Chain A
Amino acid sequence: MKSAENKPLLEVKNLKKYFQVGKNQILKAVDDVSLDIYKGETLGLVGESGCGKSTFGRTVIQLYEPTDGRIVYDGREINGSLPSAERHGFTRKMQMIFQDPYACLNPRMKVIDIVAEGIDAHGILSGEERTKKVLELLETVGLSEEHANRFPHEFSGGQRQRVGIARALAVNPEFVICDEPISALDVSIQAQVINLLKELQEKRGLTYLFIAHDLSMVKHISDRIGVMYLGAMVELADSESLFEAPLHPYTQALLSAIPIPDPDVEKSRSRIMLEGSLPNPVNLKEGCRFASRCPYAEQLCKEKTPEMKEVRPGHFAACHKAM
């Protein structure tokens, strides 16, 4: 889908999002992350809990004000000084699907009104046309007309996630951030939702940022994958290269830790076990963030923060020892 000559749909440059968590305490949830996403591609984002994946997504979509850095969408810079009408336009083109299909749907609203939330907020359609559009959307995500007047608690997890997808699609977005869209679902239902997301992407030419910690599913759906560790991007590559030849020691450990659903393979595998613990994310010092757990760390790693460099064509890693 993506091609190198393509212009990126989204360019994120040196994005930072810091949170003040106490007196003189700064938590760098996203620290200097740069990334391009091309039209029609799926970029997967993985990493341990708390490493900043959701914060990155939320900042890109303007749910958080960035601390620093630039976000360029389709050639136009999105920032605070943009006139509100134009800002409104961007929020329509970018939509988000959330992790927890239970928590993010208002329990007192009927499905028809939940799905139409964006339509109403942007004043796109009303009356019969609005109803018609919602029914169309429900059909698109594999639900039926009779579901429109029900409440979220009357649905299963997979069905609720479909309602969330229909809501995101209602305003005809181009770019969708999927934040752990399947984590709360059963394995058999996960496949249904992933198939649906892929099908919609093909039909509507959607671009996805797909955040997840199930690496086998990320590999399945993504063209390229970014790996985050403690607020920083540590590796970025197309998914084959990342899985075949990971460069960063953290990615290597992460991949070796995924249990493989095949008893003969799994019981004969050796793993890279990480020793040491995650450093305190508050007030991080200079140096590689992974040094405290890295089996290859040397003096340089503790003193100097490695930058992302293109080690192989299209394959970036932030490690002093990657080559």
Chain B
Amino acid sequence: MSRLLEVNQLQVHIKTQHGIVQAVRGISFYLDEQETLAIVGESGSGKSISVKSIMGLLPKNGKIVGGSILLEGKDLSKYSERQMQTIRGSDISMIFQDPMTSLNPTMTIGKQIVEVLKEHRKDMTKTQMKDRALELISLVGISNPETRFDQYPHQLSGGMRQRVVIAVALACDPKILIADEPTTALDVTIQAQILDLMKDLQKKIKTSIIIITHNLGVVANIADRVAVMYGGQLVESADVRELFYQTEHPYTKGLLASIPKASHKGGELTAIHGTPPDLMDPPKGCPFAARCTKTMEVCRQYPPEDMLCGESHHARCWLLDERAKAFRE
């Protein structure tokens, strides 16, 4: 597998009335060809802002203030909006949580797919575009593509709309598909169908996927690798099995422990006490120190370094430092 995307020390600031939100504080990760990376973490931890930086879709008051985003070696963080337009929808596509907001309610679904092709595939004729649109509609598992082509989003169910959104995103065979909570608004039976669809399409068209979710079941279902964000930082990343079975970071451990277990029905759940840090004024030490059960003096004073704790398993926690051995258990 070869490296497709490499994010290095990315830092993003967002200017607000009350001050500057340090939404992303130096995160690094990579994505290989045909793999699925899941990003999990507390709401407000910087997941969406991170992927929006990759897409060049930061809010107007947001700015990349450090680091690089390398897509096959080209640094997207230096690209102009005009240059990004050629990347979006063709090399990288994104789908959002609410299918209704990403579809145009006044345009038939067929037309919406054709529009994307018009923009990026100037080599195609009108007939070719229509054929491609029909092909995409059936590819995402919608029957009667001819009929659906002329329907409007409101005539479809929530699950079908999300399929259309996926069809639009896949129109130009993107190298990377970014999905920000693509199933959160859907029922579990529909969620299962959409996850299956994404896995199936990945095999067929060989795209890489970045999926943001807060559902650890979804992570277990679809991810090859997982990155865990907390307080604007990436606190742990590893192969999916390693992340679940050899968890290193106290936040990841807490997250896994707070899910109800079949074996422990009705008992007290292991909650993580307290609330996440304010990114307008992030703590100077470890962002998790205020809620961690293992906090040491050093945690509050100095930010932990990124440590390698297995082949491509990274974590940021002082407990992994040689000198903290005695505190580990």
Contact = CB atoms under 8 A, between A and B. Distances in A.
B189 A213 contact: no
Interface stretch (A28-36, A70-78, A112-120, A255-263): A255-263
Contact of B220 (A158, A220, A254, A267): A267
Contacts of B255: 187-188
B35 to A, nearest CB: 14
Interface residues of B, number: 42
Interface string A40-70: 0000000011000000000000000000000
B299 to A, nearest CB: 18
Given A257-B191, A266-B220, A220 B272 contact: no
A188 B189 CA distance: 24
Interface string B187-212: 11101110110000000000000000
Contacts of A207: none
Contact of A274 (B189, B254, B268, B271): B189
B195 to A, nearest CB: 7
B43 interface: yes
A23 to B, nearest CB: 20
B63 to A, nearest CB: 25
B42 interface: yes
Interface string B212-223: 001111111101
B136 interface: no
Contacts of A263: 220, 223, 240-241, 244
Contacts of A258: 188, 217
B271 to A, nearest CB: 4
**Closest 9 pairs between A and B when the two form their complex, measured CB to CB:** A259-B217, A220-B260, A191-B271, A261-B216, A191-B269, A191-B258, A188-B272, A266-B220, A257-B192
12 contacts: A157-B43, A189-B271, A190-B258, A191-B270, A215-B188, A220-B266, A243-B262, A259-B191, A259-B192, A259-B215, A260-B217, A263-B244
Given A188-B271, A259-B188, A271-B192, 20 more contacts: A156-B276, A157-B43, A186-B214, A187-B216, A190-B258, A191-B258, A191-B272, A192-B272, A216-B260, A219-B260, A220-B269, A258-B217, A259-B218, A261-B256, A262-B220, A266-B217, A273-B193, A274-B189, A274-B193, A277-B157
